[in-house]
A and B are shown apart, each in its own frame.
Chain A
């Protein structure tokens, strides 16, 4: 029973790892000179390191993880702080950000990837320690802070993509811990207000809807006022935030809203990626043969936009296989989370689901212009050491959870 989930997880992971390696190999096959050549060898090395990291994670008891979560959290936050106080370096799509930790010009890795894992553990520990999930917004302040602290630090880098991942992890944890839907909606409401502030009519309508929801759900009166004020401020704040944003961030948002206008600028990447994917058709141009990739039109085609290579060379069929494997991975992890032996393990595994899901949605969505361009890697496909090792640790934990899942008392599949 439980062994079946472990076997399923292991199988999907191995297939994905090999698939990803093959795509990275293809990324290096270009006519225009690119940094991608030979990256597949690096990926093999990282996969090896990943296997070791996964094995270590697999051997680590959830009790040790629960005990060590605050320490890990503190250490990764500290490393994260280092990146914004002068030890950061730029990389990838997000040119101009300082997501790398580097000392003396030597890149040591991207602490944010490990901070994500530590945040998952910390949130799981906080919720697992309580019998009931908080029923008020005030009661949620602590777990929110756990996610918001690293989120604010990465926004300072600035790395919008990773900030969104922290938000994804937070909501996954809140949801899995059993926090009610009304609270989640109220929690999200300022963000909705912020997004709708572009249009006065829509924003006004939202404020009316919010008022009705507050009347129906009846939270504490102070919280209701707080939520309402927060929504008002978010709506008004939009312009302030806008003026504070970096030019490239503004351009990214604008170009996401209207790519054709930014054809030669920031939207160039989004358009070229979509052109490559669209030209793939049903079966693609053939493995390693993608002309857009070969001629260097796909930006960052071995990291952030690696999925465009899948789309161009393997076509819709190849994309469906890749998405199907990723979907299978997520669904297996959801089942493992459901059958985990204790709330902490369950929360950790579901946090991992939130992490991987956010990465997939953001990255794949970005390649077809569903999401704005944020430089976050696609699990198994993007070349990159820190993320691969962090992912391996997550999967090692997931595998242990699958192995430890309770053998009785629950409906079997």
Chain B
């Protein structure tokens, strides 16, 4: 038993104790390293493991009119999403939700498709603005693991299609947009503006989304909301005060739908300083349901997606005579009282061609004032010949006829106007140019196509101090000066008096504009493939203009017959709803439920759609008559 003597055993016990203590020290050191030294790394990993971030959408800023009325605002809405990692469990959960909420039309196939795009993010099952649906889900939480209810404020445009072209629409930011950085600062899932004000002022309106965390199990099922500190609150977008007069916009909308339901066209109202008061294009899309109605709108022959205020180009026709007159005045070729060599007898021979006046029986001998009031073509043919093509091109450019108006909305079409004889020849071919073309240009026909916004801005300059300004929806009290018409005060006054005469007894005598001292100019342009283009450009009151209104209607009507709509708009603005003539229109309006508040309309498109097709090319160029 020598190996079991007390001394031997004691020695071995000591060695064994040493080994055991050593090993336990090593183990303790390993725990110290993991739990104390690397604690933060593992804590982070633990959080990453079980906390799934969910974006908290930022409320988009309201779009307000000049008096603070909401053009676009947010209404509460909810997105019901599912958080899962396996296709089968997702299918089961979607089916269970569908059975649980039969009133919601849940399409499993659509949800599965969405899930395949981003498998690790919660997949949208459906949107709802009905809090009862949310309550029902919350009550049965335990039976619906993985279901996440997210706040999803939805955009509501109370005027619906009445402000469609003005506000544009919003849509979830697409992969392409993110890749091209079209919306700086936008992150996946954000709503971004796609047209109109929503696009132009997107960076102001869009806030920054926050993040909240949902605790999940190792199988990816949500257990509970993580309420602790590390949630990031969303930053709301800023409200945007515009220059729009919402009651006026509403009036225009109801007037047009009431009286011109089959007419395509646009109306824009602004102050002489360029602040847009109403901005209306008809037909229009309803921005509340843009995505849902996209296909229908795209295939509509009336092209509701086409913005006739800034995209539509039309031969300016008679309203351009004011430009011709202004050219003559500033070049001191004529005064308001100048009579032409030939009186009007219904037309005029020039070279081998006979150029008609719109009035067969002729106007006789007229002063410039009289010629504007009667819109006499023969007078302006002769004035054009006095100016010559060089002056017409030069001054047209000076008046901004070749440039975009510069309004802070996209996509504005550049007007077609030759900057010089060379550019005319370049675009149309040398053989097209003849001196006779001067006659066409001088009455706003020929190689000339203008947008409503640009023509209205020109008339705003005539109504004001002779300086053309870029119209604006949002910025300061005055638009950026773009062109100086270079007319003296008396010359401007003379033109305004002539335009007053148009309404008092000229071509717009039947418009009812006398009541408000409206000054204006009618016009009827011709397009090859379509019927007439009717214009009326006006402002009031003539002695101190407060509002400039331009209207264009694509077909079927004469300038003199649409003047009354501009006049009614002016009356609504100057006097308000309490006039006999206007009461009827407003009564209709009040009986009508506001568009966009009807039904649960969703503005957050679940699936990114292809960008809207480009609108049809501009109206074909005009041909001289």
Contact = CB atoms under 8 A, between A and B. Distances in A.
Interface of A: 31-32, 131-133, 175-178, 272, 274-282, 291-292, 294-297, 311, 315-316, 319-320, 323, 326-327, 330-331, 334-335, 337-338, 343, 346, 350, 353, 357, 361, 364-365, 368, 370, 409-411
The winner among A279, A315, A334, A337 for most chain B CB atoms within 10 A is A279
Main secondary structure of the interface of B (DSSP, over half): helix
Nearest to B217: A32
10 contacts: A32-B218, A176-B12, A282-B35, A292-B50, A295-B216, A311-B31, A315-B35, A327-B20, A334-B13, A361-B27
A276 B4 contact: no
B41 A278 contact: yes
Contact of A177 (B3, B23, B24, B223): B3
A178 B13 contact: no
B49 A297 contact: yes
B21 A338 contact: no
Interface string B208-244: 0000000111110101100000000000000000000
A320 to B, nearest CB: 7
Contacts, number: 142
B215 A295 contact: yes
B45 interface: yes
B101 interface: no
A337 B13 contact: yes
Contacts of A275: 42, 45-46, 49
B607 interface: no
Nearest to B44: A279
Contact of A295 (B3, B6, B45, B223): B223
A175 B27 contact: no
How extensive is the interface on chain B, given as a class? 35 or more
A177 B3 CA distance: 7
Interface of B: 1-4, 6, 8-10, 12-13, 15-17, 20-21, 23-24, 26-28, 30-32, 34-36, 38-39, 41-43, 45-46, 49-50, 215-219, 221, 223-224
Closest 7 CB pairs of A and B: A278-B42, A178-B3, A32-B217, A279-B46, A338-B13, A296-B218, A316-B35
A323 B221 contact: no
Given A32-B219, A327-B24, A346-B4, A281 B36 contact: yes
A331 B46 contact: no
B31 A277 contact: yes
Nearest to A130: B3
Nearest to A365: B27
Given A177-B3, A281-B43, A370-B27, 14 more contacts: A31-B223, A175-B15, A178-B12, A278-B46, A279-B39, A280-B39, A292-B50, A295-B49, A297-B218, A323-B28, A323-B31, A368-B27, A370-B30, A411-B10
A91 to B, nearest CB: 20
Nearest to A172: B16
A339 B6 CA distance: 8
Contact of B16 (A178, A334, A343, A409): A334
A330 B19 CA distance: 11
Nearest to B37: A278
A199 B15 CA distance: 32
Contacts of B21: 327, 331
Contacts of A331: 17, 20-21
Nearest to A284: B35
